[in-house]
Structure 1
Amino acid sequence: MPDTLTRVPLPVEPAPAEPPQRPAPRRDNSLRGIGLMLLGSVFLSAADVASKYLTATTPAIQVVWLRYAAFALIMLAVAAPGGFKQLKPRRAGMQILRGVAVTVSSILFVSSLRYLPIADATATSFVSPLFVTALSIPILGEKIGWRRWTATAVGLIGVLIVVRPGGSDFQAASILPVLSAVTWAFALIVTRMMSATENPVTTLAWSAVVGWIVLSALQPLTWQPLSTEALLVGLFIGVSSTVGHWFVIQAFRHADASLLAPFSYVQLLWASAFGFILFSVLPDAVTWFGSAIIIASGLYTAHRERIRARRVIGR
């Protein structure tokens, strides 16, 4: 799933006596931003498809643990040249909370892949921006207008169409991507609350390490010996997801979220293509219809967010 932390990484943390350093000016380049977003979607889809492949023989918690082990090693290696002092957060409690939320979201999503077609799980997970809208009221104290509430309701109708509760094709596992989207939305709100003061590298590193610690504690519940193939696939998942997240973060350095939002949904096309190549499964017409509704509501929500942001800053 996309991990859009902030548009620009912050420099190394200044001395405590100084005020928080503001983000550097963004280097606007729409085409580069779109290209990075598309690249990110390829890597994220590849990681999801590899996760589905591995869940056929390996418990989901173990699959996510392998992913986070690679994620943590990569982030610590990235941070090492600048010194690990830059990983000291200003809001450690919030970083831990975000790390736990992202980890739970990953466990729920990967657990669903054992039972659901990859495209169905991906489409359902796209409802997270709508949950961000709903959670913004109690957590951030935002006021949500009737237009965004309507978009949220329409998006949830799209989820019901994809999940098909009560129908012959309904699977209880279809609820897992929805719960994953809720916890992911919560993580995004926590990210928003920290974005003005925290370095994105710090946030990514803390998410990786916190996730790995939580998952390590859970390993005795599902542990089984890992084959060489499982280790290699797990390494691929960790590298692909980390690279994908990094491309997405870099995309936001070059273009507005409202411009990039439509291209993030290309991940559904990649998931469908990879799912067909590896598992010979394509989404049916009902899934595509529900997905279209979810995507349309998400794009409209992004449009309303852009209008609201312009009003706030008086543009």
Structure 2
Amino acid sequence: MPVLSDNIRGALLMMGAMCAYTLNDAFMKSLADEIPLFQAIFIRGLGAILFLTFMCKVLGQLRFAFPARDWGLVILRTAGEIGGTYCFLTALFNMPIANVSAILQVLPLSVALAAALFLREPLGWRRLSAIAVGFCGVLLIIQPGGADFSAYSLYALGAVVCVTVRDITVRRMSRNVPSVFVALVAAIGVTGLGAVGSLFVEWQLITTLSGLQMAGATGFLIFGYIASVSAMRFGEIGFVAPFRYTSLLVALVLGVLVFAEWPNTLALAGGAIVVATGLFTLYREAKLQIRNRMVPDRIR
């Protein structure tokens, strides 16, 4: 039996993570007609908190002695997570799952642009051009002014902004801050959002079906987290990261089979453009990292 390389194992884990995250989205979307948004966020969050607390204890990451600067970054990242969750789920509850997923695929482009603007990371003309083309692809998905335009697309864009803030903040944290602990704090923040928001909505009775859907969402969310972290530990980021786009394919299939949704031609074309430019951006970043690692050797 052939032995899988670390890169192949990482790619398979990343594909599994993206499938799990998208299935979580599908379960949450299926709850839209039964459970209010904030109630769903709160109940799912309780499961995530229990799991992440257990993981922190097992890994010895339940530590609080960090510098004030790191705590500030943890809080800022949590704010991004809260905003991203609210905007994403609001869009998901009211739009085709494939359209929302396609808009979120612009994240590698928005993170690269934000890193250049705020962290002074290098951004050549090739990647800058890819980012511009990618955002044109987003416009094709959203179709402002068109008959298929949905105001909830703006919530999906808001999720992109919030998640970009979240991911950029992580790059500024010191390595002493455990990743699972950061995720736990974020889960507490998101669950707090659900708790506060649910005070102003009428709670609905959890039926057998909605309970199973909620359990499915929580289970796939937890599996997705484990698989995505493991993927980055096994394989090289430049090889593994492009497999994130598996989520768009899964979202298209689930949209058709579960929700009877199919994006129009312009949205599909926009999604293809976003994926192509995102892959190109990841490729250029990988080449830049290889070049930077080789420079010290030349100097010596």
* TM-score for both structures, normalised by structure 1: 0.85
Distance 1:78 1:219 in 2: 27
- In the alignment, structure 2 segments of 5+ residues that lack a partner are 296-300
- Over the matched positions of the two proteins, sequence identity in percent amounts to 27
Alignment of 1:112-151 (within 5 A): 112-151=91-130
User: What is the number of equivalent residue pairs in this alignment?
Assistant: 289
Moved more, 34-43 or 74-83: 74-83
Tell me what 2:262 maps to.
282
1:233 positional shift: 2.3
Q: Is the 8 A contact 1:33 1:254 kept in 2?
A: yes
1:130 positional shift: 1.4
Distance 2:232 2:211 in 1: 32
1:51 positional shift: 1.1
Question: C-alpha deviations, 1:260-299, integer Å up to 9, x for none?
Answer: 2331111111111122221122233322211110001111
1:76 positional shift: 0.8
Q: Does 1:181 align with 2:160?
A: yes
Distance 1:119 1:87 in 2: 39
The verdict on how the C-alpha distance between 1:138 and 1:211 changes in structure 2, with shifts beyond 3 A counting, is same
Tell me what 2:237 maps to.
257
Moved more, 291-300 or 304-313: 304-313
Question: C-alpha deviations, 1:89-116, integer Å up to 9, x for none?
Answer: 4522211211121121011111011221
Q: Does 1:218 align with 2:197?
A: yes
Secondary structure of the corresponding residue to residue 233 of structure 2: coil
Q: Is the 8 A contact 1:79 1:87 kept in 2?
A: no
Which of 225, 230, 236 is the equivalent residue of 1:245?
225
Tell me what 2:80 maps to.
101
Alignment of 1:78-97 (within 5 A): 78-82=55-59, 85-86=62-63, 88-90=65-67, 91-97=70-76
Structure ranking higher in helix proportion = 2
Tell me what 2:29 maps to.
52
Which of 219, 244, 251 is the equivalent residue of 1:271?
251
> Which residue identity does 1:96 align to in structure 2?
I
Distance 1:153 1:46 in 2: 30
Distance 1:139 1:312 in 2: 20
1:161 positional shift: 0.7
The verdict on how the C-alpha distance between 1:244 and 1:85 changes in structure 2, with shifts beyond 3 A counting, is closer
> Which residue identity does 2:241 align to in structure 1?
A
Secondary structure of the corresponding residue to residue 253 of structure 1: helix
Question: C-alpha deviations, 1:105-164, integer Å up to 9, x for none?
Answer: 011111011221100100011111111122213421224222121111111011011111
Moved more, 303-312 or 185-194: 303-312
Q: Is the 8 A contact 1:43 1:240 kept in 2?
A: yes
Question: C-alpha deviations, 1:188-214, integer Å up to 9, x for none?
Answer: 111121263322122222211222223
Distance 1:81 1:145 in 2: 43
Tell me what 2:298 maps to.
none
Tell me what 2:50 maps to.
73
Distance 1:80 1:235 in 2: 23
* TM-score for both structures, normalised by structure 2: 0.89
- In the alignment, structure 1 segments of 5+ residues that lack a partner are 1-27
Q: Is the 8 A contact 1:69 1:238 kept in 2?
A: no
Tell me what 2:181 maps to.
202
Question: C-alpha deviations, 1:44-64, integer Å up to 9, x for none?
Answer: 111001111112232323222
What is the CA RMSD across the aligned residues, in angstroms?
2.1
1:84 positional shift: 6.4
Secondary structure of the corresponding residue to residue 265 of structure 1: helix
Q: Is the 8 A contact 2:106 2:160 kept in 1?
A: yes
